[in-house]
Amino acid sequence: MFSTYVLRSKACRRLYTGSTSDLGRRLEQHNTDVSTSTKNRGPWQLVHREDFLTLAEAVRRERYLKTGKGREELKRILKGSLAIG
């Protein structure tokens, strides 16, 4: 199982989108500054997750969520779940 995930920084409220095969391990890496892409901006909180059968599907969704239309869709999703203000 592979996941596309969205994190929100509790410090600066920025969003980060990624994909992984082990979400628990990856979230720990983000929160312990192992990941250079999120280093010094945490702690991070999981605000959205989507699961896929293949890595290719997860990466395709991650890339889409990083586009203009994808960010708009993500705002609608997160607003519906009250994850952003």
Residue range 23-40, pLDDT digits in tens: 999 999 999 999 888 998
Q: Residue 14: which domain range?
A: 2-79
The answer to the question of residue 66 being in a domain is yes
The answer to the question of residue 84 being in a domain is no
CATH number at residue 34: 3.40.1440.10
DSSP annotation string for 16-65: EEEEES-HHHHHHHHHTT-STTTTTS--EEEEEEEEESSHHHHHHHHHHH
Residue 85 has pLDDT above 70, yes or no: no
Q: Could you give the CA distance from residue 82 to residue 71 in angstroms, rounded to a whole number? A: 16
The answer to the question of residue 31 being in a domain is yes
The answer to the question of residue 21 being in a domain is yes
Residues 27 and 53: beta-carbon distance below 8 Å: no
Report the domain count for the chain.
Answer: 1
SS3 83: coil
Indicate the pLDDT class of residue 82, thresholds 50, 70 and 90: low
